[in-house]
């Protein structure tokens, strides 16, 4: 586990680091963080619980698991529909505090990818052959460094240079350092008030 | 050009385009609960912000609330702290809180519609992926993460990319003993658990029109299990009749104005969609999941799939599912022994679900050794069920009758599977470890199928067990 978390800030142009492989499709957010660890009122302690039920046995002893075997890795390589299920932001937060900064997968569940984006975790999609090529490369050299170039959408490791894809809105937000949208949303305060006037139901609820 | 309901509601709620191409969307109703909101309140405090529209924000507790002996307290310091945090935030920011003392507490997706808060033509957001439930009313409802809960609290808006819209047209009528739950499980099996990524699903057709509002909620609820963040049904007379007279429903002169607006948001005939798929309701059987995601299901007369026809990741994924579920390839689903039966959740914890089960229980008993619990979706559902005497039938048949909450759907409260127990469950997710034990197993099905399994002690066809 990475110590003294340096969380993402500002413009994110490159992500580089060791990677860990989580093969298989449809890895859901209950697996990323089991529900019993959602009992918290801040996120910062969640890193230790990422994939907890797969990483530890019933007695709390560590098992062989990519997150245990490569604790320094900052990039996940995964299958299709990664992060499906619950909208719990605890899942990307647990990965973030574990030290994950980028995820390469065949595809992402929508709410999960949106949550990652807001935290500055880059989510890029890979083709199946490219995912297989990365798995193969990491099998022969697990410590190989991966370099993700957000502007070019490329993934480089050793001899391999692959093209990944990232939605334009996420790419732009990472590069500009505006992946947390709140400031921009707040700037439209007057427009929000005006919009309320145009919605027939806007003034409907009165507290009983 | 004729438009669909999604297009209309999106357009009327778009505040502006954000610089990165996303839309800033105004949110009409924000529902919050104890698990995904405390951190969001912390974030707005850290930034010196406040709650933009407390009058459009409503709170309840559901995920962690114990379903028995609430008067004994939480027996869990962290759970209690989360509830206190929610209560304090509601007080500080003047947000209406439906706690147990209000008499209206319940699962957030049960009480929103029940109180008349959820209305057609509205955008809804909640820090829970089953927020799609509210789409049953022709509202456009988004499950969101905690940072987005923060965004809605602070700005009453969200930054969102506009999805495409897929029409899911279901013609014909469901057979006897076949329910909305079977229909949505069937749709997910056919389109895949990731088939809906990037789409909003509009459910339509004769089969959907015939469903009650509560059944429509079951359908929209599980949209997210098919990968679609948004699922909805264009509003009709049935929608309006459900809302009429509820505590937060428009009244008197407002009612006529509301009807006019609601009608204007309905999907127009010959509206176009980005994609269309068609199903025949008559093909659908009572459906049961056998795997570790909601798309891994089959009709009750079906079998666990064979491995021999598969290769690559499909084979690996089936092997993983069967090894976790301790089922064999080709095994009949009927006759699979269960240990726990759970009826409840935001998918199937409403009055009509309980009525359907109660109506069939005469002269039946839960099989020996089976733990069977029924958890109403809200205090209102519980009161209505008890007024009808349903609880007596449940207790007489050997079910436990609990207080409202999410309970064993995700087991954040004391209701959990133990070890590798197999649970017949009316909830929405059969993920590994979902019901509170890291080796616990879940088979999803309709409430009546859960009741049939409880009585037989094994997965059974409710149509036979209850001679439907």
Cβ pair B145:A172 closer than 8 A = no
Alpha helices (runs of H) in B66-205, residue ranges in sequence order = 77-93, 108-114, 146-155, 180-191
Cβ pair B197:A109 closer than 8 A = yes
**Any chain A CB within 8 A of the CB of B253?**
no
**Any chain B CB within 8 A of the CB of A1?**
no
Q: What percent of chain B has pLDDT over 90?
A: 94
Cβ count within 10 A of residue B435: 28
Min Cα distance A199 → chain B (Å) is 7
pTM for the whole structure: 0.96
Cβ pair A185:B151 closer than 8 A = yes
Closest residue on chain B to A202 (Cα)? B28
Q: Residue B354: beta bridge partners?
A: none
**Any chain B CB within 8 A of the CB of A25?**
yes
The mean pLDDT value for B294-310 works out to 94
Closest residue on chain A to B410 (Cα)? A35
The CA–CA distances, whole Å, from A89 to A48, A67, A84, A117, A118 equal 15, 19, 12, 11, 10
Residue A158: the pLDDT is 93
Cβ pair A182:B26 closer than 8 A = no
Q: Which residues of A touch B151 (CB under 8 A)?
A: 181-182, 185
Greater pLDDT, B35 or A3:
B35
pLDDT of residue A204 exceeding 90, the answer is no
**Any chain A CB within 8 A of the CB of B206?**
no
Structure confidence by residue, pLDDT tens digits, A72-96: 999 999 999 999 999 999 999 999 9
- Cα(B202)–Cα(A135) distance, integer angstroms: 38
**Any chain B CB within 8 A of the CB of A114?**
yes
The CA–CA distances, whole Å, from A27 to A51, A76, A91, B312, B384 equal 10, 12, 11, 17, 39
The pLDDT-based confidence of A2 (bands split at 50, 70, 90) is very low
CA B11 distance to own-chain centroid: 26
Min Cα distance A1 → chain B (Å) is 22
The mean pLDDT value for B73-97 works out to 92
**Any chain B CB within 8 A of the CB of A177?**
no
Contact indicator for A87, B129 with CB cutoff of 8 Å: yes
The pLDDT-based confidence of B72 (bands split at 50, 70, 90) is low
Average pLDDT, chain A: 94
Among the partner residues B24, B229, B434, nearest to A188 by beta-carbon distance: B24
Interface of A with B in 53-72 (CB under 8 A): 53, 58
Q: Which residues of A touch B289 (CB under 8 A)?
A: none
Min Cα distance B92 → chain A (Å) is 16
3-state class (DSSP) for residue B122: coil
Residue A5: the pLDDT is 67
Residue A4: the pLDDT is 52
């Amino acid at each position: 586990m990475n110590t003294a978390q340096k969380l993402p800030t500002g413009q994110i142009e490159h992500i580089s680091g060791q990677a860990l492989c989580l093969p298989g499709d449809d890895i859901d957010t209950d697996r990323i963080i089991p529900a019993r660890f959602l009992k918290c009122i801040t996120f910062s302690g969640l890193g230790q619980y990422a994939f907890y039920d797969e990483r530890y046995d019933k007695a709390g002893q560590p098992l062989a698991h990519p997150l245990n075997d490569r604790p320094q890795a900052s990039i996940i390589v995964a299958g299709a529909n990664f992060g499906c299920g619950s909208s719990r932001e605890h899942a990307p937060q647990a990965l973030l505090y574990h030290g994950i900064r980028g995820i390469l997968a065949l595809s992402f569940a929508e709410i999960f990818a949106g949550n990652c984006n807001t935290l500055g975790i880059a989510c890029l999609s890979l083709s199946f052959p490219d995912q297989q090529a990365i798995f193969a490369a990491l099998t022969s050299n697990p410590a190989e460094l991966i370099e993700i170039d957000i502007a070019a959408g490329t993934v480089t490791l050793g001899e391999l240079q692959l093209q990944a894809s990232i939605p334009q809105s996420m790419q732009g937000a990472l590069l500009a350092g505006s992946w947390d949208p709140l400031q921009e949303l707040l700037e439209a305060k007057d427009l929000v008030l005006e919009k309320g006037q145009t919605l027939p139901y806007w003034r409907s609820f009165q507290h009983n | 050009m004729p438009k669909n309901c999604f297009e209309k509601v999106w357009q009327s709620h778009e505040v502006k385009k954000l610089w990165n191409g996303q839309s800033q969307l105004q949110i009409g109703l924000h529902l919050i609960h104890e698990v995904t909101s405390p951190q969001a309140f912390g974030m707005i405090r850290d930034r010196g912000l406040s709650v933009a529209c407390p009058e459009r924000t409503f709170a309840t507790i559901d995920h962690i609330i114990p379903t028995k002996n609430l008067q004994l307290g939480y027996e869990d310091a962290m759970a209690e702290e989360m509830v206190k945090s929610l209560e304090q935030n509601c007080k500080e920011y003047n947000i209406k809180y439906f706690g147990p003392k209000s008499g209206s507490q319940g699962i957030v997706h049960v009480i929103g519609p029940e109180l008349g808060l959820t209305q057609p033509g509205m955008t809804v957001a909640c820090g829970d992926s089953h927020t799609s439930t509210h789409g049953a009313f022709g509202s456009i409802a988004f499950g969101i993460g905690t940072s987005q809960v923060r965004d809605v609290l602070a700005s009453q808006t969200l930054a969102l990319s506009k999805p495409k819209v897929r029409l899911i047209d279901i013609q014909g009528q469901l057979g006897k003993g076949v329910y909305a739950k079977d229909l949505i499980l069937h749709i997910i099996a056919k389109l895949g658990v990731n088939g809906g990524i990037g789409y909003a699903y509009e459910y339509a057709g004769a089969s959907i029109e015939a469903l009650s509002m509560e059944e429509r909620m079951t359908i929209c609820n599980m949209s997210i299990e098919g990968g679609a963040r948004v699922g909805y049904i264009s509003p009709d007379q049935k929608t309006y009749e459900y809302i009429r007279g509820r505590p937060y429903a428009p009244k008197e002169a407002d009612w006529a104005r509301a009807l006019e607006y609601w009608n204007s948001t309905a999907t127009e005939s010959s509206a176009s969609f980005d994609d269309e798929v068609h199903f025949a309701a008559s093909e659908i059987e009572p459906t049961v999941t056998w795997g570790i995601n909601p798309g891994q299901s089959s009709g009750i007369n079906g079998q666990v799939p064979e491995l021999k026809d598969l290769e690559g990741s499909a084979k690996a994924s089936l092997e993983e599912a069967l090894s976790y579920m301790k089922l064999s390839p080709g095994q009949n689903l009927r006759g699979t022994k269960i240990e726990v039966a759970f009826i409840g959740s935001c998918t199937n914890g409403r009055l009509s679900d309980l009525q359907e089960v109660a109506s069939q229980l005469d002269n039946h008993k839960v099989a020996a050794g089976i733990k069977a619990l029924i958890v109403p979706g809200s205090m209102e559902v519980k009161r209505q069920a008890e007024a009808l005497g349903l609880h007596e039938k449940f207790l007489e048949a050997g079910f436990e009758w609990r207080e409202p909450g999410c309970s064993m759907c995700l087991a954040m409260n004391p209701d959990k599977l133990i070890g590798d127990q197999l649970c017949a469950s009316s909830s929405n997710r059969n993920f590994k470890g979902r019901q509170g034990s890291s080796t616990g197993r879940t088979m999803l099905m309709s409430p009546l199928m859960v009741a049939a399994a409880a009585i037989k002690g094994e997965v059974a066809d409710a149509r036979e067990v209850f001679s439907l």
